[in-house]
Amino acid sequence: MADLWADISKQLVQGADVLLGAFIGAGSAAFAAYLADRRRFKREDKYRDYADRRQVYLEFLASWHSYEETRTRTPRDQKEFEKAELQFQRSFNALSLIAPEEVHAAAASVRDGEDGAPGRFWKAARKDLGKGRPWWRRAFGKLRSWWRRMFGG
């Protein structure tokens, strides 16, 4: 009888080792899957609404151009001007919902008619969309700064 209990306890200990190894392996696999998904979700979240933001920014600029065109036209058609102004306000409202604060502030300055505001809006929108200055502009800037250092002007 003592041998039987010794055999059973020996098998239970070996089974517990197997179970413990299985739990450790499953836990490691689950943790690795979590880390991989977390990285993927971060990347997806960053570019989640890229196409929507790009579309809204372009619509805002297009409506601003048509608004400015009808506003500065000499024989102003009031009905066409009101339609363009309404479309411009709609595109600004859509932009306000989706754009980050920096782009929204630049768009508000465009709406208020400040000097240089369209350029600031375009710069903020490109920054938000992850589009920096082109490589040739960066290279030209470095060349220009080198020239100024070397030749003083």
Question: Per-residue pLDDT tens for 64-74?
Answer: 999 999 988 87
Q: What is the per-residue pLDDT for 6?
A: 72
Domain boundaries, given as residue ranges, for the chain: 1-48, 50-136
Q: What is the predicted pLDDT for the residue at 45?
A: 59
Of 23 and 100, the structure prediction assigns the larger pLDDT to 100
Kindly state the tokens that stand for 61: 């600029």
Mean pLDDT of 85-94: 94
- What is the average per-residue pLDDT within 6-17? 69
For 80-87, what is the mean pLDDT?
93
Share of the chain above pLDDT 70, in %: 84
Confidence of residue 15 (pLDDT cuts 50, 70, 90): low
What's at 30, amino acid-wise? A
In tens, the pLDDT along 91-112 reads 999 999 988 899 999 999 999 9
pLDDT, residue 128, reads 86
Query: CA–CA distance from 119 to each of 89, 107, 111, 125 (Å)?
Result: 19, 10, 13, 10
What global pTM score does this model have? Answer: 0.58
Q: Looking at the predicted structure, is the pLDDT value of residue 114 above 70? A: yes
Q: What is the pLDDT of residue 83?
A: 93
Q: Token pair of 117, please?
A: 């505001």
